[in-house]
C-alpha cells in the first residue's frame, strides 16, 4: 500500500509560479519512476512530467522549459516547479506511481487566472 499526498496548488496570476509537492508514504527508491499528470475540465488526463529513480526526466513537449520535475529522496518527495503559468495550465494535478499496481494521489487544484 502506498499513499501519495500532493500539496502546493492554488490560485495564481498568469505569468506566475507554483511549486507542487508529492510526498510518498514509503521510500521513493521503491518506485522505478514517479510522474505528474493533470486533468483540465472536460479533457482527458495527460502526462506532465516523469522522473526515474536514476534522475532521468521527461516532459510533455508543450511544457518543456516552463516546468521542472525534481526529487528529494530524503523527504520521499517529488516536486513540480511550474513557471510562466498560463490560463491553459489550469487543471487538477495528480501524482502517480506504479508499485505492483497503479497509485494516484488525491489531486491538487491549480487555477491560473487574473
Residue 46 in contact with residue 37, Cβ under 8 Å? yes
**pLDDT tens digits along 80-113:** 999 999 999 999 999 999 999 999 999 999 999 9
> What radius of gyration, in Å, describes the C-alpha atoms of the chain?
13
pLDDT digits (tens, 9 = 90+) for 14-29: 999 999 999 999 988 8
Residues with Cβ within 8 Å of 85's Cβ and at least 6 positions away in sequence, in order, are 12, 14, 15, 16, 17, 18, 66, 110, 112
pLDDT tens by residue, 32-44: 999 999 999 999 9
Supply 112's cell numbers: 491560473
Amino acid at each position: 500500500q502506498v499513499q501519495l499526498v500532493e500539496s502546493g496548488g492554488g490560485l495564481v496570476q498568469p505569468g506566475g509560479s507554483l511549486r507542487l509537492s508529492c510526498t510518498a508514504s514509503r521510500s521513493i527508491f521503491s518506485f522505478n519512476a514517479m510522474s505528474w499528470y493533470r486533468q483540465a475540465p472536460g479533457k482527458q488526463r495527460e502526462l506532465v512530467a516523469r522522473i526515474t529513480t536514476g534522475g532521468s526526466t521527461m516532459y510533455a513537449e508543450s511544457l518543456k522549459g516552463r516546468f521542472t520535475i525534481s526529487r528529494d529522496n530524503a523527504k520521499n518527495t517529488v516536486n513540480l516547479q511550474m513557471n510562466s503559468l498560463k490560463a491553459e495550465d489550469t487543471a487538477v494535478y495528480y501524482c502517480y506511481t506504479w508499485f505492483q499496481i497503479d497509485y494516484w494521489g488525491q489531486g491538487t487544484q491549480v487555477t491560473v487566472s487574473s
